[in-house]
């Protein structure tokens, strides 16, 4: 039983190694690489134009970066977003087939207009998503990050949320996470590598 | 060794009793990440030869300025909480940097990269000190040195 389960895995590894040809392995990634890449989850939220955004379908075959945050927090997200924007500028061919998605965990204050305005400050290609609180919670659970929660009261509440950016390669697998403090050179190195992993059904 | 210490002590004593207080407080590299949303974060490093506390800040470009700290949860989450004061003193530099202590500028004006902004920092002992903060790209708020993992 054990042995037969191992065999397909071995075949898969071999196929992957062959497919990667160029030598993309998790050892070359500088982000926090997963021991074993995991498949992309699915959830549906609403984009800044008010259209439904089916995550798995809309990002199929693309290098996909995902971050949960909120625009009132000026300390963490701007660094992440500015670094990704800078990487997109440096690697235009990578940017063409990549998506950066920012999901708000503060739908109350982050209206679609607020989200759009703020993402445009970094890169107008960045996608902003929002939804009802229960939809946002479901999305975070599907992705496997701790669900954000509100702290404090009144207008000045803050939100405790996952601090990392998650990266799925074009083959739909999550290879690595990028916590706060990731260097610009790591982004450039990893996004270039991840974008070279061919889509599942080329 | 002991004699050196005594000399040093005497010099220090002399310095402290002179009319001009020897207390020195410097603020280095004041910078603000260009705001994309309603708020912006300001960072700098304070060195002080005497015990002191940073208790507040104000600037004309924001409705309010508050001392905040980013807290890292065990589960990889991050959050922010207001802080009453940040201590500083000999051998204890106060470093405000992304992912940690910062001055949060609430309801801030549009600020362009390269612009300078006057911000008044309030210290318990040293009083009010005005600094000129430079608006920088958020990716560059991490400072001159490479960010290292803690």
In SS3 terms, chain B reads as: CHHHHHHHHHHHHHHHHCCCCCCCEEEEEEEEECCCCCCEEEEEEEEECCCEEEEEEEECCEEEEEEEEEEECCCCEEEEEECCCEEEECCECEEECCCCEEEEEEEECCCCCCCEEEEEEEECCCEEEEEEEEEECHHHCCCCCCCCCC
ipTM over 0.85: no
Q: Is residue A136 part of a domain?
A: yes
Q: Is residue B18 part of a domain?
A: no
Which residues in chain A have Cβ-Cβ distances shorter than 8 Å to B74?
none
Q: Is residue B123 part of a domain?
A: yes
Q: Is residue B9 part of a domain?
A: no
pLDDT of residue A151 exceeding 90:
no
Q: Is residue A113 part of a domain?
A: yes
Domain containing A186: what range?
24-195
**How confident is the model at residue B5, as a pLDDT?**
53
Distance of residue B40 Cα from the nearest chain A Cα, in angstroms: 5
**How confident is the model at residue A92, as a pLDDT?**
96
Helix (H, G, I), strand (E, B) or coil at A92: helix
| Domain containing residue B104: CATH number | 2.60.40.1890
Sole residue written with tokens 């009793």: B17
Q: Is residue A202 part of a domain?
A: no
CB-closest option in A71, A76, A85 to B78: A76
CB-closest option in A74, A79, A179 to B139: A79
pLDDT of residue A7 exceeding 90:
no
CA dihedral for B93, A74, B77, B98, sign (positive or negative) = negative
Average predicted confidence (pLDDT) for chain A:
88
**How confident is the model at residue B140, as a pLDDT?**
86
Q: Is residue A200 part of a domain?
A: no
High-pLDDT (> 90) share of chain B, %? 65
Sole residue written with tokens 């990704």: A84
| Total domains, chain B | 1
pLDDT of residue A30 exceeding 50:
yes
Q: Is residue B73 part of a domain?
A: yes
Sole residue written with tokens 């260009």: B34
Q: Is residue B147 part of a domain?
A: no
Q: Is residue A103 part of a domain?
A: yes
Q: Is residue A62 part of a domain?
A: yes
Structure tokens at B132: 């000129």
Which residue of A75, A148, A176 is the best one to mutate when testing the B interface, meaning the one whose CB has the most B CBs within 10 A? A75
For range A20-32, the mean pLDDT: 72
Domain containing B87: what range?
23-140
For range A12-39, the mean pLDDT: 70
High-pLDDT (> 90) share of chain A, %? 70
Which residue of A74, A109, A118, A146 is the best one to mutate when testing the B interface, meaning the one whose CB has the most B CBs within 10 A? A74
* Residue A30 to residue B84: CA distance in whole angstroms: 37
pLDDT of residue A135 exceeding 80:
yes
Q: Is residue A94 part of a domain?
A: yes
B21 versus B92: the higher-pLDDT residue is B92
What pTM does this model have? 0.80
Average predicted confidence (pLDDT) for chain B:
85
Which residues in chain A have Cβ-Cβ distances shorter than 8 Å to B146?
183
With bands split at pLDDT 50, 70 and 90, how would you rate the model's confidence at B3?
low
Q: Is residue B13 part of a domain?
A: no
Number of inter-chain CB pairs under 8 A, A vs B: 99
pLDDT of residue A20 exceeding 70:
no
Q: Is residue B109 part of a domain?
A: yes
Q: Count how many Cα atoms sit within 13 Å of the Cα of residue A41 in the half-sphere of its side chain.
A: 15
**How confident is the model at residue B4, as a pLDDT?**
54
**How confident is the model at residue B80, as a pLDDT?**
87
Q: Is residue A186 part of a domain?
A: yes
pLDDT of residue A72 exceeding 60:
yes
CB contact under 8 A, A75 and B139: no
DSSP code, position A165: E
Q: Is residue B103 part of a domain?
A: yes
| Total domains, chain A | 1
| Domain containing residue A103: CATH number | 3.40.30.10
For range A97-112, the mean pLDDT: 96
Which residues in chain B have Cβ-Cβ distances shorter than 8 Å to A119?
36
**How confident is the model at residue A113, as a pLDDT?**
96
């Amino acid at each position: 039983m054990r042995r037969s389960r191992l065999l397909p895995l071995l075949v898969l590894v071999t196929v992957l190694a062959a497919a990667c040809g160029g030598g993309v392995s998790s050892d070359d990634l500088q982000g926090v690489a997963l021991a074993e890449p995991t498949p992309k989850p699915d959830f549906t939220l609403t984009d800044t134009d008010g259209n439904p955004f089916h995550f798995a379908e809309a990002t199929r075959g693309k290098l996909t970066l995902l971050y949960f945050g909120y625009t009132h927090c000026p300390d963490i997200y701007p660094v992440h977003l500015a670094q990704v924007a800078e990487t997109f500028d440096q690697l235009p061919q990578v940017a063409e087939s990549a998506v950066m998605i920012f999901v708000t965990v503060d739908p109350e204050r982050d209206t679609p207009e607020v989200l759009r305005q703020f993402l445009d400050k970094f890169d107008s290609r960045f996608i902003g998503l929002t939804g009802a609180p229960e939809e946002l919670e479901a999305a975070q659970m599907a992705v496997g990050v701790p669900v954000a929660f509100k702290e404090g009261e009144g207008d000045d509440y803050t939100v405790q949320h996952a601090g990392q950016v998650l990266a799925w390669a074009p083959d739909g697998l999550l290879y690595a996470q990028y916590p706060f403090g990731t260097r610009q050179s790591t982004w450039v190195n990893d996004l270039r590598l991840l974008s070279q992993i061919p889509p599942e059904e080329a | 060794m002991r004699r050196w210490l005594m000399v040093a002590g005497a010099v220090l004593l002399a310095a402290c009793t002179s009319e001009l207080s020897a207390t020195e407080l410097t603020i280095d590299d004041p910078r603000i990440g260009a705001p994309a949303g309603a708020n912006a974060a300001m960072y700098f490093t304070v060195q002080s030869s005497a015990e002191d506390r940073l208790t507040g800040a104000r600037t004309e470009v924001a409705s309010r300025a508050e001392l905040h700290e980013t807290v890292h949860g065990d589960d990889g989450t991050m959050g922010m909480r207001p802080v009453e004061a940040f201590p500083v003193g000999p051998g204890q530099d106060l470093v405000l940097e992304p992912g940690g202590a910062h001055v949060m500028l609430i309801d801030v004006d549009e600020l362009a990269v390269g612009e300078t902004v006057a911000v008044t920092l309030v210290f318990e002992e040293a009083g009010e000190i005005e600094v000129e903060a430079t608006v920088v790209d958020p990716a560059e708020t991490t400072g001159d040195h490479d960010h290292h993992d803690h």
